Amino acid sequence: MPFGKLSDQKAREIVPGFYGKFVHTDRMTVSYWTIDAGALLPEHRHPHEQITTVIEGQLELTVAGETQVLGPLEIAVIPGDTVHAGRAVTDCLVIDVFQPARDDYR
């Protein structure tokens, strides 16, 4: 079945205030986050490449020590094994893409 609706999927709270829905293939993962204003993503790293796109709201991201607040259709490219952290300035809708797939989110 090639088609799906995110509204059919129950979000999982992966970090307090970060509610994720996930689409996986063998080789990549797309995650769709609704984030509560003020929620904090602690500093972490993972081997996966990540491209973050803010769809709605304002998300403060720190990548390798550089900090920026991203608004709608602003993006961050996070190479594998790069320390990053986040803070939702407002409620947000954010799409992250990971390669390889995030098997820890399956």
What is the binding site for a copy of itself (CB under 8 A)? Answer: 2-7, 23, 25-28, 30, 32, 49, 51, 53, 55, 61, 63-64, 66, 68, 70, 73-79, 82, 95, 97, 99
Nearest distance, CB of residue 34 and a copy of itself, angstroms? 10
Q: Six-digit token pair at 8?
A: 């059919």
Calculate ∠ Cα 71-78-53, nearest 5°: 30
Nearest distance, CB of residue 14 and a copy of itself, angstroms? 18
Nearest distance, CB of residue 39 and a copy of itself, angstroms? 20
Interatomic CA distance for residues 31 and 49, integer angstroms: 13
Q: Are 29 and 49 in contact (CB under 8 A)?
A: no
